[in-house]
Amino acid sequence: MDFVCEGPSAMPEVDMSTISDEQLRQWSEGFRLLEHETLAGVLAEYEQVAARAQHAGHADILREALDGQKSMG
């Protein structure tokens, strides 16, 4: 969920050409549900994060309309 909340900066740079089998195993573990997690729970958490991001986007649109300054693009 770090990537969803923080974007690409939450992910480490990985050179796949030099990664060991053990490093690959550890990295891939981050994409598996843990014993206490369910798909429904992960999707519900993602939905909450997406709603916050959408609200933040709406706030940016309103702010830009008020002050004329673009924050992105």
How many domains, the chain?
A: 1
Per the domain annotation, does 70 fall within a domain? yes
Per the domain annotation, does 44 fall within a domain? yes
Question: What are the pLDDT tens digits along the chain (73 aa)?
Answer: 677 677 777 777 778 788 899 988 888 888 888 899 999 998 898 888 877 776 666 666 666 766 766 665 5
Per the domain annotation, does 24 fall within a domain? no
Distances (CA, A) of 35 to 9, 32, 39, 57: 27, 9, 11, 34
Question: What's the domain range around 43?
Answer: 37-73
32 conformational bin, left if phi > 0, alpha if psi -120 to 50, beta if neither? beta
Per the domain annotation, does 4 fall within a domain? no
Alpha helices in the chain (DSSP H): 2-6, 21-29, 39-67
This prediction's pTM: 0.43
